[in-house]
Amino acid sequence: MQVFLMNKDTKVMKLEFLEDKNLFSNVIQIKNIKYAPLSIYKAYQDNKNVLTEVNKWFKGRNIPIWRDDLFYLLKRLDVHAADELLMKSYALSLSDQYWVKPCKSKLEYKDINFFENDFGFSDFLDITFSGSYIKRKISLMTPNNTTDGRLKKTWVIENNKKILVKGGYKDNPTAPLNEYLASMICNALGINHVDYELDIINEKLVSKCEDFIDGNTEFITAHSILKDELIGNYREIYERYIKILEANGISDARDNLEDMLLLDYLIMNVDRHLNNFGIIRDVNTLKWISVAPIFDSGEAMNLEMLADDTMVINDNGRLFNEVVYFDKFLELIRKTRKYDLEKLDNVVDECESILKKYQDVSKMSDKDIYNLCYLLNLRIKKLKTNFRKCLITFDIHT
């Protein structure tokens, strides 16, 4: 089958698609390559195999094989593999405006995109979070075919807004609470972020957040931006990333990256990988607009207790291409003066209140809650101490 890779109603390229294998076998014609996903455009610029990059991009839109309980989800949807879902919804997403259009089709973007059009979600929500089997036919024209990550998640519509509902890990059900904690800290410090709320669905704690992309923008990951440039240590890559963003018109890139580092230091986020931060681009003008707001901070505040009640903390976090001590994060923050850390004084009490409110569903013990709040208090105190040292050093040298 011949198809067009589309960006809204702009034809990017014409391709041959093998329906039985769910992959592209040939690039027939390049049309408007600058409107391609950034990774594909860069491959074209660098004279690399564009077809290979197109297939990587396409497969990257799949629900990943490591999604919690993926086997059961696919069985309930009556499909054999996640990649079968992609063309059921023309590979549409709520993170960008790319889609795959059969050449013979007269469809226009306005007819099918999920930013302007509603979609059914109640069945998908139910089978994702309850494990129930639904006998009736489930519509697969949904953005839920292109969600990434390990966590169970579902796009829903609430008050005409596209909302992502996300659960916790099987081995760490507190991820939604960590998302809420991250929001509290960002709100206190005035950090640009995606706001998370908590809810209970089928007796499971979930987080909810509004889509930060609209019908005229796209999210481009740091991985796409840094593709083939992950050379050197984390400091070199960090500076290279900032320079790339600044060169493309995002003048406050460093400030926003420092905000992310500060948050990840405080909550000990171990999973800030290159696909959960990046930038927002205008799909019509291709202008880089801003650093994306901070999101996906659930893999945090991890601690274990030994038999003698000794607290064991993972002191390492991911920083671009390396895993380093969290203290290294602070070494990259230059503008320590801009943070009013006194505004964090009430965060621990607020955190405790939320943890107790949802204790019945989270199954956290009183000891668990105490330990987590104790850890958060330690992180805030340590941050204040380290920042005071930075200010003293700065004043001495100036």
User: 161-199 pLDDT, tens per residue?
Assistant: 999 999 987 766 789 999 999 999 999 999 999 999 999
Cα 174 from Cα 26, distance rounded (Å): 45
pLDDT digits (tens, 9 = 90+) for 280-339: 999 999 999 999 999 999 999 886 654 556 666 778 999 998 999 999 999 999 988 889
Structure tokens at 142: 């949904």
In order, the DSSP letters of 228-294 are T---S-HHHHHHHHHHHHHHTT-TTHHHHHHHHHHHHHHHT-S---TTS-EEEEETTT--EEEEPPB
Best-predicted range by mean pLDDT among 83-87, 236-240, 269-273? 236-240
SS3 5: strand
Residues 17/1, Cβ–Cβ less than 8 Å: yes
What integer pLDDT is reported at residue 394 of this predicted model? 39
Partners of 167 in beta bridges: none
pLDDT digits (tens, 9 = 90+) for 11-27: 999 999 999 999 999 99
Rg (alpha carbons) of the chain, rounded to whole number: 22
pLDDT digits (tens, 9 = 90+) for 204-242: 899 999 999 999 999 999 999 998 889 999 999 999 999
Residue reference for tokens 């987080």: 207
- Per-residue pLDDT, averaged over 246-263, amounts to 97
- Per-residue pLDDT, averaged over 103-108, amounts to 95
pLDDT at 359 over 90: yes
Of the candidates 245, 235, 378, 195, the one whose C-alpha atom is nearest the C-alpha of residue 301 is 378
pLDDT digits (tens, 9 = 90+) for 131-169: 666 667 788 899 999 999 888 999 999 999 999 999 987
What integer pLDDT is reported at residue 156 of this predicted model? 97
- Mean pLDDT rounded to a whole number for the chain: 91
Helix%, strand%, coil% for the chain, nearest 5: 40, 20, 40
Residues 94/114, Cβ–Cβ less than 8 Å: yes
Residues 109/99, Cβ–Cβ less than 8 Å: yes
Cα 6 from Cα 14, distance rounded (Å): 9
* 171 CB-near residues (< 8 Å, 6+ apart): none
Of the candidates 286, 299, 385, 370, the one whose C-alpha atom is nearest the C-alpha of residue 336 is 385
Residues 36/71, Cβ–Cβ less than 8 Å: no
Q: What angle do CA 37, 66, 40 make, to 5 degrees?
A: 15
Report the amino acid identity of residue 375. Answer: L
Residues 212/312, Cβ–Cβ less than 8 Å: no
- Per-residue pLDDT, averaged over 83-88, amounts to 92
Residue-level length of the chain: 398
Q: Which helix (H) or strand (E) holds 187?
A: helix 175-189
Strand ranges for 55-123 from DSSP E: 98-102
Residues 199/218, Cβ–Cβ less than 8 Å: no
Residues 302/181, Cβ–Cβ less than 8 Å: no
pLDDT at 75 over 90: no
Categorize the per-residue pLDDT at 101 as very low, low, confident or very high, splitting at 50, 70 and 90: very high
Report the amino acid identity of residue 59. Answer: K
- Per-residue pLDDT, averaged over 109-136, amounts to 86
CA 100, 102, 108, 110 torsion-angle sign: negative
Of the candidates 270, 370, 364, 384, the one whose C-alpha atom is nearest the C-alpha of residue 311 is 370
Q: Which helix (H) or strand (E) holds 188?
A: helix 175-189
> Domains in the chain, please, with CATH?
217-397 (1.10.1070)
Of the candidates 89, 164, 46, 222, the one whose C-alpha atom is nearest the C-alpha of residue 98 is 89
